[in-house]
């Protein structure tokens, strides 16, 4: 008797018609039963935003004719929430995959990424999850070389499980003549974006700002996602949504004076 196919939920942040999600659907169909719930338009850089105090719409989508698909007016995190509690309310996905994002989500970008926020929302909901990104911002980015690596990682995740409360952040180098060197499990590089804001004037002579900037990476470690990608490895970073800096709890308790009567403040003048 054939074993039951795993149920795989797919979302993204580039929108339901993006080429990356089409590649992801193509690969996931080889592995299991696929359900897509994705934004109805681009949601890049939304981070873990959710829709509060506004309408949230969910409609059947014609973007895919061979899998069950829905498009949502909300954010990637909204998509995962609606998928779990409404679309799949009587079923539990075996895996949630997000992407394939058009552009890198390595290092600090994981905090801004809608792609990874969909995966992390799944982890919050108790579901194993992986976010996939291609490190190519080109308009005609080629996703074809990602397929065997995405399939390998997903099959391993289904066979061995993703650690509880964890989402995997997978970044894949752009397609080139240089072969992929391998897959490395890494830590997130201690790097950041150094923003600049270009002040401009619109046709109505109203001031506006356009954000620019550069990625700054002072982290020289050879165990980071940035090092792996620079050397043409696929990086896999296990991410958690618990942001507690545990190593500082004892320091604050030992050094700060937080007990006793509150420090008096001067009375505001009448």
Query: Does residue 211 sit within a domain?
Result: no
Q: Is residue 22 part of a domain?
A: yes
Number of domains the chain contains: 1
Instruction: Judge whether 101 is annotated as a binding position.
Output: yes
Residue 11 in marked binding region? no
- Considering the domain boundaries, does residue 78 fall inside one? yes
pLDDT (tens digit, 9 = 90+) per residue, 223-258?
999 999 999 999 999 999 999 999 999 999 888 887
pLDDT in tens, 10-63: 999 999 999 999 999 999 999 999 999 999 998 888 889 989 989 999 999 999
| 178 exposure class (CB count in 10 Å sphere: 0-12, 13-18, 19+) | exposed
Give the structural domain span for 29: 7-190+221-255
The answer on whether 253 is annotated among ligand-binding residues is: no
Q: For the domain that residue 148 is a member of, what is the CATH number? A: 3.40.1210.10
Give the closest residue to 130 by CA, choosing from 42, 246, 231, 31: 31
In a domain? residue 207: no
**Confidence at residue 149, expressed as pLDDT on a 0 to 100 scale:** 98
pLDDT in tens, 144-194: 999 999 999 999 999 999 999 999 999 999 999 999 999 999 999 998 888
Is residue 14 a known part of a binding site?
yes
Q: Is the pTM of this model over 0.85?
A: yes
The answer as to whether 201 is a domain residue is no
Q: Is residue 102 part of a domain?
A: yes
pLDDT of residue 261: 57
Higher pLDDT, 95 or 209: 95
Pairing, β 7-11 against β 95-102 = parallel
- Mean pLDDT over 122-129 rounds to 96
Whether 198 is covered by a domain: the verdict is no
Chain mean position to CA 44:
10
């Amino acid at each position: 008797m054939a074993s039951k196919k795993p149920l795989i939920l797919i979302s993204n942040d580039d929108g339901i018609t993006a080429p990356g999600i089409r590649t992801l659907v193509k690969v996931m169909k080889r592995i299991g039963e696929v359900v897509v719930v994705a934004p109805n338009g681009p949601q890049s850089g939304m981070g873990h935003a959710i829709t509060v105090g506004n309408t949230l719409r969910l409609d059947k989508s014609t973007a895919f004719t061979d899998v069950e698909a829905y498009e949502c007016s909300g954010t990637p995190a909204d998509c995962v929430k609606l998928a779990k509690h409404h679309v799949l309310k009587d079923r539990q996905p075996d895996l949630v995959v997000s992407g394939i994002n058009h552009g890198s989500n390595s290092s600090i970008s994981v905090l801004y990424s809608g792609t990874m926020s969909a995966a992390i929302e799944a982890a919050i909901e108790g579901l194993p999850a992986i976010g996939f990104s291609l490190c190519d911002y080109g308009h005609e980015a080629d996703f074809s070389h990602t397929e065997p690596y995405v399939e390998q990682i997903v099959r391993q995740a289904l066979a061995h499980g993703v650690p509880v409360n964890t989402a995997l952040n997978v970044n894949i180098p752009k397609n080139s003549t240089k072969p992929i060197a391998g897959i490395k499990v890494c830590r997130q590089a201690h790097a950041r974006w150094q923003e600049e804001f270009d002040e401009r004037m619109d046709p109505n002579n109203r001031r506006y700002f356009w954000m620019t900037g550069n990625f700054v990476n002072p982290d020289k470690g050879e165990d980071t996602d940035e090092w792996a990608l620079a050397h043409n490895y696929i990086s896999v970073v296990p991410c958690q949504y618990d942001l507690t800096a545990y190593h500082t709890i004892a320091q604050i308790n030992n050094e700060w004076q937080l007990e006793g009567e509150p420090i008096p403040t001067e009375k505001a003048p009448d």
